[in-house]
Structures are given as C-alpha cells and as structure tokens.
Amino acid sequence: MKRLYMKRLVLFLAAASTVFSQTSASISLTSSSPSVRPGQQVTLTESFVDSSPTSSVAAIQWTLVLPAQLSSASLASTIGSAATSASKTLVCGVVICEISGLNVNLLANGTLATTALTVPTGTAAGVYPLSLAGIIGATALGYSANPTATSGTVNLTVLSRYDVNGDGVVNSTDVTTWITAVIVGASCTPLLDVNGDGVCNVLDLQSIVAASLGKIPL
C-alpha cells in the first residue's frame, strides 16, 4: 500500500511540475518596417519562442495593444507556420487573436501569425508604440501554461502624409516627386492623394508645397 501511495505521489508531483512550472515561453512582436505613411500598410509578426524545458503550450491567445491614434487602423491577420505545422487554426476579433485546434499538438518555435496593419489616412506624424498583452497559454489538457511573456515593443514611426518620397522630411523633393508621378506619370494612389478627397490634383500639390514651406502642420 505504501509503495502504491509513493508511486501515485511521484506521478502527481510530475504532473504538477508540468502544469505549474512552465515559464519559458514568450511571444515576440516585430515589424516589417520601422516607418510608414498614412494609408500605407506595415506587417507585424507575432512569433512563438520556447526554451528548454519546453512550456508545453498547445493553445494561446494575445491582444494587440494599439495607441488611440491607431485604434481605427485596418487589421488583417494570417496564420503562421508554427501554428499550421501543429494543425491549429487562427481566430481574431478586432485586436484579440487565439490559436487552437481539435488536437493536443504542441506549438513549436516560429511564426504564430502575421498582421497587416494599414495606418488610417490623416494619422498625425509621430512615433506610436505597439505591443502585445493578455497573453494566455494553455497546455494540451487545458491547464494554464503560466501565461507566457511578451518580448519587445514596436515603435512605429508614422511619417507626414506630405512626405511623398518617404525620406522623413517634407521639402521640394516631395513636390517634384508628386509632379513626376501624377502629372507626368498619370498616376493617382492613396499616397499621392494627400488630402484624401479621392482625386489627385493641384489641391494635393499645393498642400505639399505649403507643408514644405512650413505654412501648414505636417
């Protein structure tokens, strides 16, 4: 009887160690570009990183934290290789995403998802921090994997909408670039329609001129 009790105790302690000691996993957040203009898109990558001993994460969820200035940004998430290789699916709400599946497969290191973020037209120039929060990891049996940590904050620089060539300054070069693209090249894209009225014309050009001369806010 005593031997049976000790055997059960060892099994219990092993299970408890598996359930309560996982603290080695994290999700890192990176960006495809450090800067972007209003109307442009940047790709965010959420990656799963686990060390030894592994944390035995079979399902996970997180929240993408956006500053108020980017709260209306368009978001489109795509499942990554680390999730597909474990036969998982990705479900996202507005900013909350979760990866799970009808199986007990564990997640391996790699990309959980990528999120295409389109900066709203009219967003003021500035540096905006993006981060992950609300990380919850689950083991194959539904226990907490001791909520995984986040790694890194992306500081996204939004350039002025008048910075047509995206070099970080608004000057005569942007005026020339706009003229070459619109007047000579007969092109009109959301990035060239700087006032956002749906057309590219002299109103946009004069706005860029005024911004380059410091007559209107960037």
Averaged pLDDT, 32-46: 92
Whether the pLDDT of residue 98 is over 70: the answer is yes
Q: How many CA atoms lie within 13 A of 43 on its CB side?
A: 9
- Evaluate if pTM is beyond 0.75: yes
User: Which residue type occupies 205?
Assistant: L
- Local structure of residue 180 (DSSP, 8 states): I
In this prediction, residue 94 has a pLDDT band, given cuts at 50, 70 and 90, of confident
Give per-residue pLDDT as tens, 159-208: 999 999 988 899 999 999 999 999 999 999 888 999 888 899 999 999 99
Question: How far are the Cα atoms of 39, 174, 201, 205 from residue 188, in angstroms, in the given order?
Answer: 13, 15, 9, 12
User: Domains in the chain, please, with CATH?
Assistant: 22-158 (2.60.40.680), 172-212 (no CATH)
pLDDT at residue number 103: 97
Q: How far apart are CA 50 and CA 79, in angstroms?
A: 18
- Local structure of residue 75 (DSSP, 8 states): E
Averaged pLDDT, 37-48: 93
SS3 category, 110: strand
Give per-residue pLDDT as tens, 72-85: 999 999 999 999 99
Averaged pLDDT, 41-61: 88
Give per-residue pLDDT as tens, 110-159: 999 999 999 998 899 999 999 999 999 999 999 988 667 777 789 999 99
CA-based nearest residue to 68, from 112, 20, 120: 120
- Local structure of residue 153 (DSSP, 8 states): -
Give per-residue pLDDT as tens, 5-36: 444 444 443 444 444 344 578 899 999 999 99
pLDDT at residue number 113: 98
Cα dihedral 67, 188, 166, 170, rounded to 10, equals -100
pLDDT at residue number 54: 72
pLDDT at residue number 151: 73
Q: How far apart are CA 197 and CA 183, in angstroms?
A: 17
pLDDT at residue number 9: 40
In the structure encoding, which two tokens stand for residue 58, read together? Answer: 């079979």
Give per-residue pLDDT as tens, 206-215: 999 999 999 9
